[in-house]
Amino acid sequence: MRSTFFLLPLIQAAFATRPFLNEPDTGIEAALGNTPEGELPDLDQIFGLPDFEWAARRYMNDSSYTYYRNGAAGEWSYRNNLEVYGRFRFRPRTLVDITNIESTLSTSILGHNFSAPFYISPCASGGLAHPEAEANFVKAAYKENILYIPSHYATLSFDEIAAAKPSNGSQTIFQQVYLNSNDTQTKEVFDHAKKLGSKAIVFTVDSASDGNRHRANRYGVGSADSDYTYITWDYYKKLQNFTTLPVILKGVQTVEDVRLAVKHGAPAVILSNHGGRQLDGTPSPLEVALEIHQEDPDLFNQIEIYADGGVRYGGDVLKLLALGVKAVGLGRPFMYSNTYGEEGVRRAIQLLKHEIAIDAGNLGVGDLKKIDASYIKWQNNGWFS
């Protein structure tokens, strides 16, 4: 017993200092490593979301890829976002009828119905991956019936993104914004978004100052939002009076701020650390969701809570849903999939839908809407700490 106790810190230290892999070793290098730099392998050879990053890293030029990939400082939060899901184990149930699981993937987000509990998160500069830029996200999201949230700093303008939507007005899109102290300009942005059919405003609150992005600065592709910005709860209350659209808060990272969001009448919050791009050392959205579950679980009933950051597999989505998160956002995987254009984005959506369904089936969840925290062992097992 004493020898095991003695070895445990050494084992943990070994895992903490091991080399970090951007993409897991699933044989892709052996199978597709002869693909010439600057070319993409056939789309039907892409079997999971990490494959898209492998392909994009070899296809895109260094500065464009770095703009999507970079994180803050030593990138520990970026790394933690990816690895945190592996710290918690499933508790699979067996002898359960799971044959209808695919029919239970649908969800609603602020009353709007979608085919799956995940969405395309706001990410800037879609044109770095493909000339059609964010139009590919609009079209793919519509055809697959999931939510897309365009970035304020998209390559395409608000109007160009709206023009990519079907003319029948049947697609639901939310608009992400960065704001400053110019109230006249803010009202114009809100009014314009509403006129173009956006159903909600997503206000990013976790970038009050510039991100400390060493990797990005090396290539001259730092943050587009680099000012010190006045963001307070009083300011949020003022914003709510500028529009009749619901104003979602993106970038909430503590249970205390979720409570304050409820107090101030927010319709929803997104747990996010900006993809690990703003402040290194911030918690992953899974850790924030776990904090809420442990300290004030009823918050999941009082407000719609979404989360984004580090999700690459169907199992990652299930762990967030099990805690009470209503919908899960993904950014980088869709940006990388856009190297293939609309069809690449659609394949990424389809792959994730399939993974969620088969992983839920193997977990013994017959109805995704009935997943709860009992399906996961929420004690950190110490690995990858």
How much is the pLDDT for 214?
86
Number of H helices, E strands in the chain: 16, 12
pLDDT at 319 over 80: yes
Give pTM, 2 decimals: 0.93
Alpha carbon of residue 214 to chain centroid: 22
Q: Which helix (H) or strand (E) holds 118?
A: strand 118-120
- Least confident window among 22-36, 66-80, 212-226: 212-226
- Report the C-alpha gap between 229 and 102 in whole angstroms: 44
Query: Is 218 flagged in the annotation as binding?
Result: no
112 is catalytic: no
Query: Is 312 flagged in the annotation as binding?
Result: yes
Please state, rounded to an integer, the average pLDDT across all residues of the chain.
92
Query: Is 67 flagged in the annotation as binding?
Result: yes
How far CA 234 is from CA of 33, 133, 261, 267, 269, in Å, comes to 54, 36, 12, 16, 17
pLDDT at 248 over 50: yes
- Which of 346, 365, 261 lies closest to 306 in space, CA to CA? 261
- Which of 296, 300, 305, 246 lies closest to 271 in space, CA to CA? 305
Cβ–Cβ < 8 Å for 210, 226? yes
Query: Is 124 flagged in the annotation as binding?
Result: yes
Residue count (the chain): 385
Q: Report the DSSP pairing between strands 107-109 and 376-377.
A: unpaired
Cβ–Cβ < 8 Å for 126, 161? no
Q: Which domains does the chain have, with CATH numbers?
A: 86-377 (3.20.20.70)
Of 192, 274, 293, 354, which residue is the catalytic one? 274
Q: What is the pLDDT of residues 260-303, one digit of tens each?
A: 999 999 999 999 999 999 999 999 999 999 999 999 999 999 99
Q: What is the pLDDT of residues 325-382, one digit of tens each?
A: 999 999 999 999 999 999 999 999 999 999 999 999 999 999 999 999 999 999 865 5
| Cβ neighbour number for residue 355 with a 10 Å cutoff | 19
Instruction: Give residue 208's pLDDT band: very low, low, confident or very high (50, 70, 90).
Output: confident
| Mean pLDDT of all residues in 174-197 | 96
Query: Is 178 flagged in the annotation as binding?
Result: yes
- Which of 124, 106, 125 lies closest to 116 in space, CA to CA? 106
pLDDT at 144 over 90: yes
Instruction: Give residue 224's pLDDT band: very low, low, confident or very high (50, 70, 90).
Output: low
DSSP 3-state assignment of 106?
A: coil
Torsion angles phi and psi, residue 276, rounded to 5: 70, 25
The more confident residue out of 16 and 330 is: 330
Cβ–Cβ < 8 Å for 147, 109? yes
- Report the C-alpha gap between 98 and 92 in whole angstroms: 12
Torsion angles phi and psi, residue 175, rounded to 5: -115, 120
